[in-house]
Structure 1
Amino acid sequence: MTGRRSDARRNHAHILAVAEAEVAAQGAQASLERIARVAGVGSATVRRHFPTRKALLEAVFRQRVHALCERAHTLCGEHDSRAALVAWLRELLAYSLAARGLADVLSYEPLRDEDQDEAGEDSCAAALGAAGALLLRKAVEDRAVRADITIDDLLVLIVGIALATENYTDPAVHADRAFRLAVAGFGADGA
């Protein structure tokens, strides 16, 4: 973005602000045409800044995802590695429920190795996967979590719970129950 003209930077910021509001209201399926209309630009301008829906959603969630990644690094210093992992997953689930559309961004199929360069390492899923892997690795090393669990397993779990409960009258209550049941299953003893 450093090489962009100031009006292009303003357009980008304005489109992103409108997109954040639309995604909050409509979820991941927010209309790109409506975003363009509300932002007062053409849909080609929106697509020039955000060539795909996924790129737009990634930009909408980037700041909060960064905060969740920082939180994972902070929790790595906790004595109880299982509790730290569970706390972080609970925060990720809460944000996935609150930020309509994040679960959709995270639910894209994991990238093959040859696609990693094209997607970039700053994607929401890649950043959260790397941050969560730190917590998981410590919990596995401490024998507080089963060794056969991967961070992809845990992200699928969070995405699944978020997507399955997002349309409930009170999604947080149902998501919390599903989360507690799932967490009971990934302890070191399998209980």
Structure 2
Amino acid sequence: MAQDTGRPLRADAQRNRDKILAAAVRVFTEQGLDAHYERIAKEAGVGTGTLYRNFPTRETLIEAAYRNEVARLCDAVPGLLAAQPPREALRIWMGHFIDYATAKLGMAEALRAVVASGSDPYGHSREMIQAAITTLMEAGVTAGDLRSDIRPSDMFAALAGIALTSAAADQRGQAERLLGLTLDGLTPHRD
């Protein structure tokens, strides 16, 4: 990974890094371990030198791309809650979760190679996602839009199940229907 000096990256360097990570997810999802650095650099609109400076090995790039996807997923929560009612924020986030799961599925071969090299790209991702779900569900319960008897861990299990059965890109319609059913199941019972 790029040398961590403790200082924030310059704005242009951060933009390049973000473009590299987004391109890496797309290319590794499409091509798996056969993905070439040159293709990733081209898709990101940077030179291969910039790519290698930031991510000197394939493993560091794969791990950083995956961790970036998790961070993007979780970091979306405050903005969604600020812009949408809690129930709608949760529904939008659930769609983002399927996007994340689709990328993870596409990168599975590359992620297995990272794990085989001794690294753990998944470290803390479960806790981060669980915290995001908890925030969304607590907001929905407080607003009276979501049942209070459903635990965030139950919601995580439901989303993981949908992802396992319907995260492939060609299954998006099914995933959306299942997300709708799940959200309907979170609706408080009205007497």
Q: Same fold (TM over 0.5)?
A: yes
TM-score by length of 2: 0.58
8 Å contact from structure 2 (residues 94, 179) kept in 1 = no
Q: Across the two proteins, how many residue pairs are aligned to each other? A: 148
Q: Secondary structure of 2:82's match? A: coil
- The CA distance in 2 between the partners of 1:103 and 1:159, in whole Å, is 16
- The CA distance in 2 between the partners of 1:153 and 1:103, in whole Å, is 26
Q: Which amino acid aligns with 1:179?
A: L
**Which blocks of at least 5 consecutive residues in structure 1 are unaligned?**
4-12, 40-45, 51-55, 105-118
- The CA distance in 2 between the partners of 1:151 and 1:69, in whole Å, is 14
Structure 1 pair 167/94, CA: closer, same or farther in 2 (3 Å)?
closer
After superposition, what is the alpha-carbon deviation per residue over 1:110-134, rounded to whole angstroms, capped at 9, x for unaligned?
Answer: xxxxxxxxx9x96222112212211
Equivalent residue, structure 2, for 1:154: 155
Matches within 5 A, 1:33-182: 59-78=64-83, 80-97=85-102, 99-101=103-105, 123-166=124-167, 170-182=170-182
Q: Which amino acid aligns with 1:185?
A: G
TM-score by length of 1: 0.58
CA RMSD of aligned residues (A): 3.9
Percent sequence identity over aligned pairs: 25
After superposition, what is the alpha-carbon deviation per residue over 1:37-61, rounded to whole angstroms, capped at 9, x for unaligned?
Answer: x78xxxxxx8xx78xxxxx975431
After superposition, what is the alpha-carbon deviation per residue over 1:30-86, rounded to whole angstroms, capped at 9, x for unaligned?
Answer: 67xx89xx78xxxxxx8xx78xxxxx9754311122122221011222452111111
8 Å contact from structure 2 (residues 74, 132) kept in 1 = yes
- The CA distance in 2 between the partners of 1:78 and 1:90, in whole Å, is 16
Query: How far is the alpha carbon of 1:88 from its aligned partner?
Result: 1.0
